[in-house]
Structure 1
Amino acid sequence: MRGATTMYFPYLRGKQFELLAIKELAPAIRASGAVHPIIEPVRDIDAGPTLLRNLAALVEHRVACTVIINPRVGDMRGVSKTENILTQLEPLFAANRSMRIGVLLTSEQEIRQLIAILARASRRYRADLIYGTAVVSEDSMRRLADLCDVDMHLAEDKNSVRRYRSLFSRPPTAILRDSFAKQKQERNQDYYPLEESIFTEDNIFFAEDGYQGFGDYQTIGEAFKEGGTMPRVVAIHLTYQRPREEAIFIRHFCSTPNGSSADTAGKYLEALSKLVAFANGSGLSNPALDTFRSHLDKQSFPGLGVIKKLSIQNHIHVAIGALKDA
């Protein structure tokens, strides 16, 4: 590994199966010492215990993580729920000193509102700043630096951070990129003809490019989508490293398009048989892939949410392996 500060930052939305993916991986994440999840709450924190229950599992396993306090999508978007988020998370912050707040630099107006909330808070938080396209004033960034202990800056381009160099001396920066964006298709059937391609090389070049780590949105992508319909094609997105290749690659294993949304289980098993044949032929193995293999052996369909969860878990295992080999 390239040193203790080398980290992988998976950015996940706080939906059921994204949270389960991280909860179930907590022991592996702790053992790796190289993964720091960033979680954006998107479901009303008062509507159910899902977020808090899964974050508690990370605390139990002493996994460091970051929770966004001004989400940009879902039920919790904006700063109207920020104080409630902080209140609900207070026992977890008290139990896990490695837990940090995440601040999305969305707009000057929102950041000023957030600063007012943090100024009233009963504790001083460790924080990560996530950069977008908005330009936040130097005065607001100085106030954030006064109110929080900023640990990490995450941006697709470190030039976004450069303008605040006078406030943060040599700020540790990780690249956060939607590596799935160039793969993203409108319909599952559009993945059917796609061949193997490079998912990312950030795991190779992040240090050379001046970053302390890299992050992504796994095989889901940054775009947020609520729900969905029964698919006409089942597509399983699989990332992996090939022997003697450092880049992370991706393939899309799909059922054959037939114009019908019937028999999702059968479509899954067809796509799964292709995935397992490829994984076996390529010598790929990790706990997520082993679960995929068990589904094929048992001819079982666990539901579309579980397929997404396993795809996320596989990708995180791949990232851990990539950092170990770096």
Structure 2
Amino acid sequence: MSTVPETERPKALALARAGVDRAAQHRVDEPWLAAAWSHPTTKVLPIAGGEAFVVDTEEGTELVLLPSFEAPQDGDRYFLGTDDDGVSYFALAGETLPGRLDGDARPAGLREVGAMLSDRDAGLLVHAVALEHWHRLHSFCSRCGHPTEKAGAGHLRRCTSCAAEHYPRTDPAVIMMITDEQDRCLLGRQAIWPEGRWSTLAGFVEPGESIEQAVAREVFEEAGVRVAEVSYVASQPWPFPSSLMLGFMGQADPAGTAITVDGEELAEARWFSREELRAGMAAGEILPPSGISIARHLVELWYGEPLPAAARW
């Protein structure tokens, strides 16, 4: 496997940005965490069901971060890190968001505002959403079935019976832009998607499988196309609910470009030239991947320029 040169990789993937040091060395230091929580500069991000409060300003969309003394006292605290000014950041997960805030604050999730947030805010929300979902689904020990309790400032759950330690889960998934000898790209459509929506192929890495093997297997299983070689491009977290998307460019084997869709993962698949994709988007017949997805960046990397603004949705 080769790697796409740095100068050719997509910039600023929406959910792969950060402006806070996670400062993992503090996660088991309870006195430090207590002092950080009570510090007047500390900022708290309330979160519930994958949503947080945001506010739209002249500069853009921002997270609503509360001083710790204004934050609710109930809920699970997750330490998110510190910035260059020594400010500490926590998430506070509850069943619901706090009561209505003053001003124009509104609840929103990553799909809606992830690409609009600053590097710092995008990183904080991705981190908090991923932890909140994991904690919600891991209340019991997978080894003995007894309840688990939060530890490690939200980055660990420990069994109350057998003391087994469980860490947040991340599922690796490959997503790939495959091209043929004519430099056409392979895109597919799922039946549940809106009419006209097309995207790159993707799938989860299976146990005992390399990421290169996963790329080749998924493309063949979904579209019947054989992959000859792949190049790594970039990655970004995808906390819907717990994936890490690994992006690739790939070249199809000239002897294996005939398409046969599986009918399960994909309803349709086809090869697109740049001209065909451009004409389809201009006519409103083709909806490309959304800007928050790494798929969008892979398509644009092949396309050679940003997709038309009218195609963004």
TM-score, normalised by the number of residues in structure 1:
0.28
Query: Which one has the largest radius of gyration?
Result: 2
Higher relative contact order (CA 8 A, sep 6+): 2
Greater helix share, structure number = 1
Greater strand share, structure number = 2
